[in-house]
Amino acid sequence: MKNWPVIAILGSAQFVMVLDGTVMNVSISTVVEDLDTSVDAMQAAITFYTLTMAALMLLGAKLGDVWGRRRAFVIGSIVYAVGSLTTALSPNVAVLFLGWSIIEGLGAVLVIPAIAALIADNYDGHARVSAYAIIGAASGAAVAAGPLIGGFMTTYLSWRYVFVAEVVIMAGVVLFARRIEDRTGARPSRIDVLSVLLSAAGLVFVVFGMLQSKTWGWVIPLQPPIVGGMEIAPLGVSPTTWFILAGSALIWAFVARQRHLAAAGRPPLVDITLFHILRLRSGLTVLLAQYAMTAGLFFMMPVYLQMTLGLDALQTGIRIFPLSIGLILFSILGTRLSLLWSPRRIIRVGQVILVFASGLLLGAVDLELKSLAFGAGMFAAGAALGLLASQIGNVNMSSVGEEQSSEVGGLQGVFQNLGSSLGTALIGSVLIGALATSFAGGVATSSLPEETQAVVAEATQGGVSIVPAASVPELATEAGLDDAEAAELERVYAESQIESLRVSLVALIVIALASLFFSRGIPTAVFGRAPGEGPDERADAPASPTKENS
């Protein structure tokens, strides 16, 4: 690649967008103490950051067309920097919520679709494949390095410095954004308000329902919300089900609205015929699975390292860091392989490696950390995700012409959020459900007296929470157990955590295997095939929504 400044600017913005959430996840306890708030309030802030992006991503992509992609990128970067500064200076959780969950989220919905579209504007051929691979590597590196950066800053300085650094980076992005070419420019168009409302409400309902499933349960209510002393579970069904059904109905209405607008000759918010393109459908589905697996992995590994083994945030980040190294290296390797292998082969090799990596981690998860096997498993997982990242962006964006790249960029943002929410929800539900079952079985077969088993069973009949294993003896002593019984209960709980983690890793393997089926529509031609050598199905060839693509 000769045009490095552009990808450096776009990659820096992408890194900051993804880094934000991972840093906050490992800093929760410190932020709670600093702002004199609660874990529930912080979890709400994290959730609403995701919801803001999910709700308005399609609008952000449309505004990129209306204003011009570079202008939308610059405006979004400024808004994001304002949100980061507000978060860094926040005196209480309300200001943090405003700065992080709302203002930063609004900036992100303009920046993320613009990044994908501007790469298509500034790069062609193999350079475009490399650019999307770098963006994918930046995302993965931010996910993996976030706990390390957040752990270091929180432990030795302050979590606020992370957001100050984001302001500085985004200021540099805005300053050098003039180096970015915007071939399409502004295309003034009317935005249908009803479409925005339907898409925003539908995606919020679906994403929020998924995120709450680990607490509320999917169908059978576990811990539904309580309003006025009454549990909210209509007809005995979890609110998660109702939220997802309501969201699905709103999305269906949104699709119907887009068809009506197109038939009436008015510009829709999203061109629904894009989903007729097999390559794009497959690419978006693989993207969703990729982010689901990434989110699931980053949900369960901190649980193992922090809750079971008792490592702090910095130590957790160090153990996870091999994933970042593997992801960056294999993102680069993936772009080289694209000269020899088809995108489908590279993606499927990555999916198979992810299954292998999950198997390594399955064997490494124990009460005593098997450092070598765990490190190898994390590196292999990073390698797999790097191979996927090196191809998916280009597969999706090359499915359409440059005039529709903003729309596809917005769809990528939506599918990323849905995938992350689904991965966290699925793996979280599996983990918590398996923990409850394993703990109940472990207590029943333990050396604890029957009366003690009855006390424990009564205390956990509403479910088993994920807490540090080292805190169980203190909780047990407060419940009236003696020291020997408390030690036995700690052993049972720690082993139950290990068993539930293994079950969750098996679920991750199932998702990775299922994603192999979704990749059947990925292009099979080697990148760079000359015209006339076969069907025009090259990785860089724009595809039209015709019968041949469907």
Question: What's the pLDDT at 544?
Answer: 42
Contact 406, 68 (CB under 8 A): no
Enter the DSSP assignment of 268: P
Give mean pLDDT, residues 456-471.
68
Q: Kindly indicate the confidence band of residue 295, based on its pLDDT and cuts at 50, 70 and 90.
A: confident
Q: Kindly indicate the confidence band of residue 172, based on its pLDDT and cuts at 50, 70 and 90.
A: very high
As its CATH architecture, domain 1-183 has Up-down Bundle (1.20)
Question: What's the pLDDT at 547?
Answer: 39
Measured torsion, CA atoms of residues 113, 118, 123, 126, in degrees rounded to the nearest 10: -10
pLDDT at 532 over 70: no
Give mean pLDDT, residues 297-316.
79
Question: What's the pLDDT at 133?
Answer: 81
Whole-angstrom Cα distance, residue 185 to residue 70?
8
Burial 112-141 (b: 16+ CB within 10 A, else e): bbbbbbbbbbbbeebbbbbbbbbbbbbbbb
pLDDT tens-digit series, residues 60-118: 888 888 888 899 999 999 999 999 999 999 999 899 989 988 999 899 999 988 888 88
Whole-angstrom Cα distance, residue 114 to residue 13?
11
Q: Which of 85, 231, 225 has the alpha carbon at shortest distance from 161?
A: 85
Whole-angstrom Cα distance, residue 181 to residue 7?
11
Residue found under tokens 């699905």: 248
Whole-angstrom Cα distance, residue 133 to residue 129?
6
Choose between 39 and 228: higher pLDDT.
228
Q: Return left, alpha or beta for 235; rule: phi > 0 is left, psi -120 to 50 is alpha, else beta.
A: left
Whole-angstrom Cα distance, residue 507 to residue 270?
33
pLDDT at 453 over 80: no
* The model's pTM: 0.81
pLDDT tens-digit series, residues 24-61: 766 776 788 888 877 667 767 877 887 888 788 888 88
Q: Kindly indicate the confidence band of residue 541, based on its pLDDT and cuts at 50, 70 and 90.
A: very low
Q: Kindly indicate the confidence band of residue 531, based on its pLDDT and cuts at 50, 70 and 90.
A: very low
Span of 196-210, 356-370, 393-407, 503-517 with lowest mean pLDDT? 393-407
Give mean pLDDT, residues 170-185.
85
Contact 90, 186 (CB under 8 A): no
Strand partners of residue 231:
226
**Polymer length in residues for the chain:** 550
Burial 8-29 (b: 16+ CB within 10 A, else e): bbbbbbbbbbbbbbbbbbbbbe
Q: Which of 204, 229, 201, 224 has the alpha carbon at shortest distance from 213?
A: 224
Question: What's the pLDDT at 147?
Answer: 74
Whole-angstrom Cα distance, residue 345 to residue 342?
5
pLDDT at 529 over 50: no
pLDDT tens-digit series, residues 338-372: 888 888 899 999 999 999 998 899 888 888 877 78
Question: What's the pLDDT at 455?
Answer: 72
Q: Kindly indicate the confidence band of residue 410, based on its pLDDT and cuts at 50, 70 and 90.
A: confident
Strand partners of residue 226:
231
Whole-angstrom Cα distance, residue 254 to residue 244?
15
Amino acid, single-letter form, for residue 375:
G
Amino acid, single-letter form, for residue 250:
L
Q: How far apart are the first and last CA of the chain?
A: 33
